[in-house]
Amino acid sequence: MLAWCCVTFANDAGAVAHRPSAPRVAEGNLVHVPPSATPVRIPLHLARDNAEIDRLWVQRVMVDEVWLEHGTWRSPKQSFFRPEEDIPSFPTGFAFELPRGVEDVDLMISTQAPVNVRPTSQTASGVAELQQRGGALAGANYASLAVLAFMALSLFAAVRDRIYLALLALSASAFAWFVASNGHLYGWTGVRWFALWGAQGVWALQLLHCAAATWLAQRYAELELASPRLDRVGNVLRYVALGLAAIALLRLDALAWPMAWGAALVGGATLVFTIATAIVAVRNRVWNSLSVLTVVLLVAGAFALRAFAPFGIHGFWVRYGPQLALTICVLLVAVGMIGRIAHVRDERDRERLARGDSERRLEREAARVELVQQLQRRLRELPAGDLEWAAFRSVFERLLPLLRLESAALVAYGFHGFDLLLAEPISSKPHYTDLLAARMGMMKGLARTQAPVQLQLGNGESVHLLHGVVPLPIRAPAWGVLLLQRSDGSSFTDEELALASDFGRLAVQHADEAAAALSLRRSAELDALTGTFNRRTIDLWLSRCFSDAHREEQLLSVLFVDIDHFKSINDTHGHAAGDAVLRQVSEVLRKELQPTDLLGRYGGEEFVIVLPGRNGDDARQLGERIRSAIELVRLDYEGKPIRITVSVGVATRLPRESEPAAAVARADQALYAAKRGGRNRVNVAPAVFS
């Protein structure tokens, strides 16, 4: 990640101070060649102390053309951007055959970019060795960077983390920069057109590499959160690098020198930014950050050697070491990024688990709300005995899918006066019956603990499977539990048992509330002493029955039943005895009535019976049965017998009547006629009042 700065300073800044000053430059000395519209002549003196030395070797730099001259002799021209067809695949320098016996030649260079050259004389075998060593190292670098780029692309496709996209940009830009700065790009078929941009094309690739390195550093250290100010600096640096790269591609010859310095300055700034970012990552304990910082600093040492090349430090590894070091750096960063996958996977697993937990909570909360709404709606009109079944049926409808249950059961004793065994599905009820046959005492004890448990339960014929036992908050001495079972016998989590306990609590709570509401409603509708409808309720039913009978043209009869000598009973035996008489009479009346008949206490000792669908004769016969049944009652109160008789008045709705007032008045008159006629008798209104 450091190549941009040191290489540029080595090629430009350091070499500027070493311009040739002697008429003849001895081979092996560094020569700086500035940009020039005309070829630059460099007089060379060759030390040909070996007869086999017949080549002049010049390292491959960004020159438009380079050749040798000696008098009228001129070597073939070679070019960095237009390589010959017969050169090696990865050439590392320019090799020229020397005339025999010549020790002084002129090196001619045409370039639009500042370059440094260090010409040396070599044997043919020495040139081949240099080409082979440099080409092998360059090929290894290219292959490594290409593999790293494809690996980064694969990682991004698999993980979808943009840091791997930044790693791809870094690897690909390093590859493109290396093949261009080494001159190998221009010999490849299909991309030779890139030579049109010359040195500025190389600088554009260098600047793109700076932008990629900055982006990767920002993503790796998570600067947006860790250091917003440094992140903004990185954004500016990245945009400047991209902007200069775009300007370089305009191919403006006048900007060649400023562009070289611009690339160097951006490279230096990127170097400083990268080191600062690595330090921030170490401080924030970003995964693998310390090793990354160490590698960056170690690579900086390799580039520092290249930076001192103009001062006499040179050699094969000085020239190619920075590229190799940068490749190794990218490789180590990639290895770190591969290790980051586990970190990213753990984070995503945690996110997925958190999201799944949140979804489960939302699903269960929605089920809880639906359960509450259904309990309120379903239990509102149910009679006692059905409330409990309906409440826990609603619970099972939701618990079975939520907890992936195979079956569930309610076991309750004394719950609102009922003993219950409710199983879902119904086909599992025999299983729970057998399961509980010898375990009722244990279940009662578990219900008292009010703590959900899990037990291995089974009978002699079935496999012992794990069951969840959830106590219900039923008021003692009553008790109840929920039994939960999965098909695979797997255990329940504490959260699942808590959910079942909460649903069971809601069912008990709403069943209690519905039972209390039913009791309150009954107390408002019924007479507390006899359990029959009170005056207000029976009046409402009278009005409703007369309206329905008039609309549907149905028969309807009304009976008034009055206890004979009731005041005398109270005076003789006391009001408690009178209450006992009222209860006894109401019990006899209920036994004689059909389910569709209505009974209410109309006054102190007076009862009203409404008979939908019955004519006067049926009503009279019922009155006789009632009178006879009550006459046979023998009530002993505190050892004293009390004789009970009743008088009955009967009236039938006339076809024109839609209100009960007239018929009730006729029945009342018939009753008083029976009283006047001697009591203990039945009178029908039309027969008395024709």
369 part of a folded domain: no
220 part of a folded domain: yes
Q: What is the mean pLDDT of residues 5-25?
A: 45
State the pLDDT confidence band at 556, using cuts at 50, 70 and 90.
very high
> Contact at 8 Å (CB) between 486 and 497?
no
State the pLDDT confidence band at 680, using cuts at 50, 70 and 90.
very high
State the pLDDT confidence band at 644, using cuts at 50, 70 and 90.
very high
User: Whole domain around residue 583: which residue ranges?
Assistant: 535-688
Which CATH number characterizes residue 651's domain? Answer: 3.30.70.270
pLDDT at residue 462, rounded to an integer: 56
Shared-domain flag, residues 541 and 557: yes
pLDDT digits (tens, 9 = 90+) for 171-205: 999 999 999 988 888 888 888 888 888 889 999 99
**Is the pLDDT confidence value at 660 over 50?**
yes
**Is the pLDDT confidence value at 16 over 80?**
no
354 part of a folded domain: no
State the pLDDT confidence band at 588, using cuts at 50, 70 and 90.
very high
**Is the pLDDT confidence value at 20 over 50?**
no
Shared-domain flag, residues 180 and 324: yes
pLDDT digits (tens, 9 = 90+) for 479-498: 888 888 887 778 888 888 88
Shared-domain flag, residues 325 and 198: yes
Neighbouring residues of 130: CB distance < 8 A, sequence distance ≥ 6: 57, 92, 93, 122, 316
Shared-domain flag, residues 500 and 558: no
Q: What is the mean pLDDT of residues 430-437?
A: 82
Neighbours of 349 (CB within 10 A): 10
pLDDT at residue 5, rounded to an integer: 45
pLDDT digits (tens, 9 = 90+) for 102-155: 888 999 999 888 888 889 888 888 888 888 888 888 899 999 999 999 998 988
366 part of a folded domain: no
Helix, strand, coil shares of the chain, percent, nearest 5, are 55, 15, 25
357 part of a folded domain: no
pLDDT at residue 627, rounded to an integer: 92
- Percent of the chain having pLDDT more than 70? 92
Structure-model confidence comparison of residues 207 and 339, the more confident one: 207
> Contact at 8 Å (CB) between 424 and 393?
yes
Distance (Å, whole) CA 186 – CA 251: 17
pLDDT at residue 654, rounded to an integer: 92
Shared-domain flag, residues 297 and 164: yes
Neighbours of 587 (CB within 10 A): 13
Please, is 306 exposed, middle or buried when counting C-beta atoms within 10 Å of its C-beta (0-12, 13-18, 19+)?
Answer: buried
Structure-model confidence comparison of residues 23 and 47, the more confident one: 47
Q: What is the mean pLDDT of residues 520-535?
A: 82
Which CATH number characterizes residue 29's domain? Answer: 2.60.40.2380
pLDDT digits (tens, 9 = 90+) for 441-457: 888 888 888 888 888 77
331 part of a folded domain: yes
> Contact at 8 Å (CB) between 168 and 174?
no
5 part of a folded domain: no
pLDDT digits (tens, 9 = 90+) for 256-286: 778 888 888 898 888 889 889 989 988 988 7
Distance (Å, whole) CA 140 – CA 368: 65
Shared-domain flag, residues 402 and 503: yes
Answer whether the bond into residue 99 is a cis peptide, omega within 30°.
Answer: no
Structure tokens at 80: 């960095």
Shared-domain flag, residues 419 and 463: yes
pLDDT at residue 11, rounded to an integer: 42
CA distances from 129 to 103, 118, 668 (A): 23, 18, 135
Q: What is the mean pLDDT of the chain?
A: 84
**Is the pLDDT confidence value at 558 over 80?**
yes
pLDDT at residue 304, rounded to an integer: 72
Distance (Å, whole) CA 79 – CA 58: 12
**Is the pLDDT confidence value at 476 over 70?**
yes
Q: What is the mean pLDDT of residues 513-520?
A: 77
- Show which of 112, 131, 150 is a domain's final residue: 131
pTM over 0.85, yes/no = no
Shared-domain flag, residues 148 and 64: no
pLDDT digits (tens, 9 = 90+) for 288-329: 778 778 877 777 777 777 766 666 666 667 777 788 888 888
- Show which of 464, 496, 521 is a domain's final residue: 521
| Location of structure tokens 């006789």 | 624
| Location of structure tokens 């400083």 | 272
Question: How many domains does the structure of the chain reveal?
Answer: 4
Shared-domain flag, residues 125 and 146: no
Distance (Å, whole) CA 148 – CA 157: 14
Query: Comparing C-alpha atoms, which of 210, 211, 212, 203 is closest to residue 249?
Result: 203
pLDDT at residue 228, rounded to an integer: 92
Q: What is the mean pLDDT of residues 602-615?
A: 91
Query: Comparing C-alpha atoms, which of 399, 591, 412 is closest to residue 500?
Result: 399
Shared-domain flag, residues 123 and 209: no
pLDDT at residue 583, rounded to an integer: 92
**Is the pLDDT confidence value at 238 over 50?**
yes
**Is the pLDDT confidence value at 553 over 80?**
yes
pLDDT at residue 313, rounded to an integer: 63
pLDDT at residue 14, rounded to an integer: 36
State the pLDDT confidence band at 659, using cuts at 50, 70 and 90.
very high
185 part of a folded domain: yes
- Show which of 521, 552, 571 is a domain's final residue: 521
Backbone angles phi, psi at 559, to 5 degrees: -120, 135
Distance (Å, whole) CA 12 – CA 14: 6
Distance (Å, whole) CA 201 – CA 4: 14
pLDDT at residue 358, rounded to an integer: 85
Shared-domain flag, residues 121 and 148: no
**Is the pLDDT confidence value at 647 over 90?**
yes
Shared-domain flag, residues 472 and 488: yes
